[in-house]
């Protein structure tokens, strides 16, 4: 296995950043410093260390994206006995969800066994955008959209600004895209509540550079290396 791929697989960083670590002379294989990016590693025999600390591949990291359905809790076990997203997953590896979606919200969520990856995705300093599509009862005025963009006031406190785009009205429901980069509890729902609009359905369709795409409700799909590296590249 190529050394940069091995280091990335150990959860160190993206492959590109692992190349920088190699070139900086911070990596040893069997006690010898290695700076050649073309170096291969026998992951079963070689002892690889970074800054003197031995690292190894886990049995394997797993990275899944799921289209969480409405009516499922984002927890391994629910004290109220509700269905959870893990009822929908078959895996030989113990996984945990990265971030949360509330019980009534559907859409994109990640499942993994890589704690470092989870910290990257959820750490507030990186401000990864999250995009939602809100289906609301009735139509919505441009003046109301402007309030959402500026940040609604809830209990005397102004909520963060948001990118808001009107997507259309079918005569019964309007659809609005909302992009936020902070993770306040129930933020999108509270925004629409503040302007007197009722959300019929709320779906998260994007986290950072990863889109939900055509993934069916309740289904999971392995994340691509590019999708994983999008987050690890922010490190």
* Positions marked catalytic: 102
Residues listed for the chain: 235
Alpha helix positions (H), 39-140: 115-122
Beta-carbon contacts of 200 under 8 Å, excluding residues fewer than 6 positions away, are 135, 136, 137, 173
- The alpha carbon dihedral of 143, 146, 150, 154 has a sign of positive
8 A C-beta contact, residue 50 and residue 27: yes
Which residues of the chain form beta strands (DSSP E)? 27-29, 32-33, 48-50, 53-55, 63-68, 96-98, 106-112, 130-137, 153-154, 157-158, 163-169, 173-180, 199-207, 210-211, 220-222
8 A C-beta contact, residue 85 and residue 220: no
Angle at 54 between CA 49 and CA 56, to 5 degrees: 100
């Amino acid at each position: 296995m190529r050394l940069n791929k091995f280091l990335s697989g150990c959860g160190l960083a993206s492959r590109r950043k692992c190349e920088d670590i190699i070139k900086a002379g911070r990596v040893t294989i069997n006690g010898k410093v290695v700076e050649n990016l073309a170096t291969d590693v026998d992951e079963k025999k070689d002892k690889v260390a970074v800054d003197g600390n031995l690292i190894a591949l886990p049995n394997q990291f797993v990275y899944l994206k799921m289209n969480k359905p409405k009516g499922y809790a984002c927890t391994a076990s629910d004290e109220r006995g509700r269905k959870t997203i893990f009822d929908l997953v078959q895996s030989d590896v113990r996984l945990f969800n990265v971030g949360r979606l509330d019980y009534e919200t559907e859409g994109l969520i990640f499942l993994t066994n890589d704690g470092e990856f989870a910290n990257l995705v959820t750490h507030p300093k990186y401000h990864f955008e999250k995009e939602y599509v809100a289906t609301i009862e009735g139509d919505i005025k441009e003046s109301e959209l402007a309030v959402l963009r500026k940040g609604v006031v809830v209990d005397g406190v102004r909520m963060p600004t948001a990118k808001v785009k009107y997507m259309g009205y079918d005569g019964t429901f309007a659809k609005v895209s909302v992009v936020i980069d902070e993770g306040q509890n129930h933020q999108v729902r509270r925004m629409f509540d503040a302007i007197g609009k009722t959300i019929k359905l709320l779906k998260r369709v994007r986290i950072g550079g990863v889109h939900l795409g055509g993934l069916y409700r309740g289904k999971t799909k392995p994340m691509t290396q590019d999708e994983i590296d999008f987050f690890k590249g922010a490190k």
